[in-house]
Amino acid sequence: MYSLLIKNATVIDGTGKPGEVLDVAVQGDEIVNVAPKINSPAEAVIDATGKILCPGFVDLQNHSDSYWQIFDNPTLDAMISQGYTTILVGNCGASLAPLLTHEALSFMQKWRNLEGVNVNWVSFGEFIEELSRRRFACNIASLVGYSTLRRALVGDRVRSLTRPELTALKTALAESLEAGAFGLSSGLSYAHEIIISELELVELAEIVKKHEGLFSVHLRSEGAEIIEALDEALDIAGHTEVNLKISHLKIRNEQNWEKFPEAANLIETAYMHGTQVHFDLYPYDIMWQPLSSYLPKWAIEGGRTIMLKHFADPVQKNKILMYLSNLGVKFSEMSVASTASKLNFSGTTIGQIAKNQECSSEQAVLNLIENGGSEVTVFEKNLDMSQVEKLAAHPLSFISTDGAGFNNIPSSAGLVHPRSFGAATKFLSGVLKEKHMLLETAIKKLTSGPAKKMGLKKRGEIKIGNFADLVIFDSGKITDKATYENPYLLSEGIDYVFVNGKAALAGGKITGQLPGYALRKS
């Protein structure tokens, strides 16, 4: 007897081939039969007539670790409700392991207040063991964060690594990859990675290549210098032959949108010449950023303590204000997403704050950063939606959330980007309405495409012998509901989400089951 039998579904298997009406049988956590008609008994039978059955979605760009949601909210509601069954964390240079010194976790300040955070692991292997003792709604895989490694060695000091330090960093990376990490991530625009040289990156990328891992790069610039930033990442991948994924590819600010054709051409040319390059994106034209990321690089080098010293120095502060005023960013139109709990500015524009404080918008930015903590984030509309749509349709792209698995209870900490709750469903509903690509192609971008990119075995396709990560949805009803004003709304139109054969979502409702596994790269 099967544990689960799904009958009469239009099966889109994740490979891109046309869907067909099939039955799918599951025993335990494995798909054991796929056929036009399966008449054997099962403990649970679902008639999916008129519904789509596809593999569970794979999110290559997830921050449920740095927002601590894998521990605070293991049901990961925002992920499950839109069909994600596997999430890859440890992105943008920040991972929860290895922790070579007590300073290694300091990177989390830009995402979460560190007060009350306790850990009982040091090595990456110990971290995976801890995750294995816990349960989650999604499967959890992790990269190693470059900033986590580097900050453990140099703290907030801005300098090149000594040869012994680089050797220690390379050893820690190799040990982590051997313990099951899926690769290395880098956040080159953040304070503690700005100083990193291309030579240093090459040495680490060579280790990732040796272990057949993924090198996930948050570019050094997504605006005026995006061409140079892409050149750097593609040059590293070309030199080392590492498997490169560019994180949340976008071109920021209207004055830079003209660079889109050149940026796309660089990626396509590199791919045609043999570079293993893909990119992910979220299907929105509004960004969700730490406010401090708008400061000049020299002002944030060395971390928050040094940054606040610059604010206190009249000469340095004036230089920062001049930089902000010439940046071409409409700070007055930005809305505050979150600040430290002592402030209550969520949903308020910086222009309104500046008016209340009787200062310029640029000065209000500094006031917010100084008094709102490292976790001040803002929403900014600075992307061209037509370019976002072109990137989504590009054959080298995958769809990701760049979010975290929050629950649907509004947080006292403020607002989150609706992409956490609706990236996949917004993308699919758009495809179904606009018909600018085949549904089978769209589902491949969410399933087998990202699974193969990260080296995920036995997931991302519906076939016998694979794990039973499955999504059943109504193509006429699937949609995102989350907005910037109310982002904590679950998607609609997805009826069931099975993770390793168990229902994490049934009848459109979160079940509370935690069937996800901690994954190791094999």
Predicted model pTM: 0.95
pLDDT digits (tens, 9 = 90+) for 347-405: 999 999 999 999 999 999 999 999 877 678 999 999 999 999 999 999 999 999 999 99
- Cβ contact 154:161 at 8 Å: yes
Q: What is the CA radius of gyration of the chain?
A: 23
Strands 377-381, 335-338: pairing kind? antiparallel
Measured CA to CA in angstroms, residue 235 lies from 239, 357, 363 at distances of 6, 47, 39
- Residue pair 25/466 in contact (Cβ under 8 Å)? The answer is no
Sign of CA dihedral 91, 94, 100, 102: negative
* Cβ atoms of residues 212 and 174 within 8 Å: no
Please report the pLDDT score of residue 110 as a whole number. Answer: 55
Side-chain-facing half-sphere of 183: CA atoms under 13 Å:
25
Task: Tell me the Ramachandran region of residue 119: left when phi exceeds 0, alpha when psi lies from -120 to 50, beta otherwise.
Answer: beta
Instruction: Copy the structure tokens of residue 95.
Output: 């991972």
In the chain, which stretches have pLDDT less than 70? 103-116, 156, 158, 190-195, 341-342, 374, 412-413
List the domain boundaries for the chain. 57-285+384-438, 290-380
- Decide if 378 contacts 349 (C-beta within 8 A): no
- Between CA 134 and CA 219 the distance in angstroms is 33
Q: Which residues lie below 8 Å from residue 424, measured CB to CB, with a gap of 6+?
A: 57, 82, 83, 84, 399, 401, 446, 491
The reported pLDDT for the residue numbered 230 is 97
Number of C-beta neighbours around residue 151 at 10 A = 25
Give me the pLDDT at residue 346, please.
86
Fold of 57-285+384-438: TIM Barrel (3.20.20)
Q: What is the pLDDT of residues 295-329, one digit of tens each?
A: 998 898 777 888 999 999 999 999 999 999 998 89
Tokens matching residue 447: 């399933």
Residues in the chain: 522
The pLDDT value recorded for residue 169 is 92
| pLDDT tens-place string over residues 17-37 | 999 999 999 999 999 999 999
pLDDT given for residue 411 in this prediction: 73
Peptide bond into 283 cis (omega under 30): no
